[in-house]
């Protein structure tokens, strides 16, 4: 039994925030952002538009593409670090909006790796008897972004992507997943305030501890190393060479990170899906948005060999190999 991706969907808020717009907010330039990151613009949720709103739109599109009714879902997993509320889980709000009457629902927190982690969980659910699982990566990063901090505010964006995984006989589906972590590096990317360690308070607000902080330069180096290592491990586990890949879909954080990894792997950039110029870093949403674009643009066809690779806060890193 394999978990096959039966349909994909994505949704991005309509408001576009360009690098030129950011020039009016912090001491930065379009040139710096493009050269250092590859990002040109990102989408920003409207006031009152929350994580579940984006997730529901992406989820509906994935269900329509799969031809699966919400009422047939066994489980809904939402990977996010920007849920509507600390509790309940955003997945429960999605379950209600979709009318998925017999589905369980919970969130998964693994930052930018959240979607690949959730895919791995869903794969295990299907192998142990579930028929249809909806996996969504959805983020409103703008809600945890400090719009006065040029080190981070130029990087992130909002959006959601989703896949329906269905039980299937045959060779097509998720071939393997690989999940890693190193909590000694937890301070590289962190929202230090607002949780049980430092609950919400006037001090948290005044010191802006409820916003994302990142040691970008150190993260960059670890990202290159971990993405290369896990890609090699995943290729070896599936007994395939890098030349056998039809498409590599990485977490969309920084085009310079990806170019460095591809050079080390010997994978030409034409086989790498890049859309961060239009969305920035949408954390757990970045891979499923890119996956949906690749499917809709015909870059993934039946039989394609597709590898996913992610890294992010935790630190965590993860990969998946899929026969489409
Ligand atoms: O998905 C989560 C994982 N996170 C990531 O993947 C992020 C990984 N890191 C990165 O993508 C890069 O480290 C950044 C894009 C965040 C930064 O690029 P960098 O080449 O590592 O720059 P840097 O942090 O070493 O900073 C270089 C200079 C500094 O100025 P000085 O000290 O050399 O005078 C910064 O203050 O660039 C300055 N700088 C900026 N200048 C204009 C930092 N941010 C900006 C900015 N605009 N927005």
Tens-place pLDDT, residues 143-170: 999 999 999 999 999 999 999 999 999 9
Could you list the residue range(s) of the whole structural domain that residue 233 is in?
175-323
The domain boundary residue, chosen from 128, 143, 170:
170
- 243 backbone dihedrals φ, ψ, rounded to 5°: -65, -25
- Clarify whether residues 290 and 163 are in a common domain: no
- Clarify whether residues 182 and 163 are in a common domain: no
User: What's the average model confidence in pLDDT over 255-281?
Assistant: 98
| Residue 277 confidence (pLDDT) | 98
Predicted confidence (pLDDT) per residue in 186-234, tens digit: 999 999 999 999 999 999 999 999 999 999 999 999 999 999 999 999 9
CA count, 13 A, side-chain hemisphere, 82: 29
The Cα 9–Cα 59 span in angstroms is: 6
Neighbours of 190 (CB within 10 A): 16
User: Measuring CA to CA, how many Å separate 285 from each of 83, 162, 237, 291?
Assistant: 12, 8, 26, 10
Confidence of residue 119 (pLDDT cuts 50, 70, 90): very high
Residue 254 CA: which ligand 1 atom is closest?
11
- Clarify whether residues 223 and 201 are in a common domain: yes
Judged by DSSP in three states, 210 sits in coil
Query: In terms of DSSP bridges, do strands 305-312 and 316-323 run parallel, antiparallel, or are they unpaired?
Result: antiparallel
- Clarify whether residues 8 and 144 are in a common domain: yes
The Cα 299–Cα 84 span in angstroms is: 33
Q: How far is the CA of 94 from the centre of ligand 1 (A)?
A: 35
Q: Is the dihedral of CA 276, 282, 288, 293 positive or negative?
A: negative
- Clarify whether residues 204 and 110 are in a common domain: no
- Clarify whether residues 193 and 316 are in a common domain: yes
- Clarify whether residues 237 and 163 are in a common domain: no
Q: Is the dihedral of CA 110, 116, 118, 121 positive or negative?
A: negative
The domain boundary residue, chosen from 123, 147, 170:
170
User: What's the average model confidence in pLDDT over 244-259?
Assistant: 98
Mean pLDDT (the chain, rounded): 98
Neighbours of 141 (CB within 10 A): 27
User: What's the average model confidence in pLDDT over 242-262?
Assistant: 98
**Annotated active-site residue in 112, 132, 153, 210:** 112
In which element (H, E) is residue 310 found? strand 305-312
Q: How many domains does one find in the chain?
A: 2
| Residue 22 confidence (pLDDT) | 98
- Clarify whether residues 75 and 137 are in a common domain: yes
Q: Tokens 């039994």, residue?
A: 1
Any catalytic annotation for residue 106?
Answer: no
Q: Is 32 near ligand 1, meaning CB less than 6 Å away?
A: yes
Confidence of residue 11 (pLDDT cuts 50, 70, 90): very high
The Cα 202–Cα 321 span in angstroms is: 46
pTM: 0.97
Two tokens, residue 209: 């501890």
Predicted confidence (pLDDT) per residue in 36-93, tens digit: 999 999 999 999 999 999 999 999 999 999 999 999 999 999 999 999 999 999 999 9
In which element (H, E) is residue 15 found? strand 15-18
| Residue 204 confidence (pLDDT) | 98
- Clarify whether residues 166 and 198 are in a common domain: no
CATH of the domain at 224: 3.40.47.10
* Burial of residue 46 (number of CB atoms within 10 Å: 0-12, 13-18, 19+): exposed
Any catalytic annotation for residue 113?
Answer: no
Helix residue ranges, H only, the chain: 19-23, 30-37, 51-66, 90-98, 114-127, 150-153, 202-206, 216-237, 255-265, 276-279, 286-296
Predicted confidence (pLDDT) per residue in 305-318, tens digit: 999 999 999 999 99
| Residue 265 confidence (pLDDT) | 97
The domain boundary residue, chosen from 102, 136, 170:
170
The Cα 272–Cα 306 span in angstroms is: 10
- Clarify whether residues 187 and 208 are in a common domain: yes
Two tokens, residue 281: 């870093």
Residue 151 CA: which ligand 1 atom is closest?
44
- Clarify whether residues 40 and 77 are in a common domain: yes
Q: Is 150 near ligand 1, meaning CB less than 6 Å away?
A: yes
């Amino acid at each position: 039994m394999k978990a096959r991706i039966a349909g994909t969907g994505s949704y991005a808020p309509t408001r576009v925030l360009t690098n030129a717009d950011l020039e009016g907010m912090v001491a930065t330039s379009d040139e710096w952002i493009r050269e250092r990151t590859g990002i040109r613009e990102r989408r920003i949720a409207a006031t009152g538009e929350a994580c579940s709103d984006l997730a529901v739109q992406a989820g509906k599109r994935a269900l329509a593409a799969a031809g699966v009714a919400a009422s047939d879902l066994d489980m809904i997993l939402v990977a996010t670090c920007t849920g509507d509320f600390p509790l309940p889980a955003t997945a429960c709000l999605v379950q209600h909006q979709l009318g998925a009457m017999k589905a369980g629902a919970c969130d998964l927190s693994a930052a930018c790796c959240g979607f690949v982690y959730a895919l791995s969980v869903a794969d295990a659910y299907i192998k142990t008897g579930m028929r249809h699982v909806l996996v969504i990566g959805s983020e409103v990063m703008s809600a945890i972004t400090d719009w006065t901090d040029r080190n981070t505010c130029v990087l992130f964006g909002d959006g959601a992507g989703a896949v329906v995984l269905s039980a299937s006989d045959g060779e097509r589906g998720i071939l393997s997943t690989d999940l890693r972590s190193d909590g000694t590096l937890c301070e590289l990317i962190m929202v230090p305030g607002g949780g049980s360690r430092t609950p919400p308070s006037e001090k948290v607000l005044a010191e802006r501890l409820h916003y994302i902080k990142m040691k970008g330069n150190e993260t960059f180096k670890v990202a290159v190393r971990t993405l290369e290592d896990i890609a090699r491990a995943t290729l070896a586990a599936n007994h395939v060479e890098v030349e056998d890949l039809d498409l590599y879909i990485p977490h969309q954080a920084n085009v310079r990170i990806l170019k460095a990894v591809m050079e080390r792997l010997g994978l030409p950039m034409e086989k790498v899906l890049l859309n961060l110029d239009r969305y920035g870093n949408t954390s757990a949403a970045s891979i499923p948005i890119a996956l949906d674009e690749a499917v809709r643009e015909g870059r993934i066809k039946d039989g394609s060999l597709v590898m996913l690779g992610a890294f992010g806060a935790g630190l965590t890193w993860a990969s998946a190999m899929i026969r489409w």
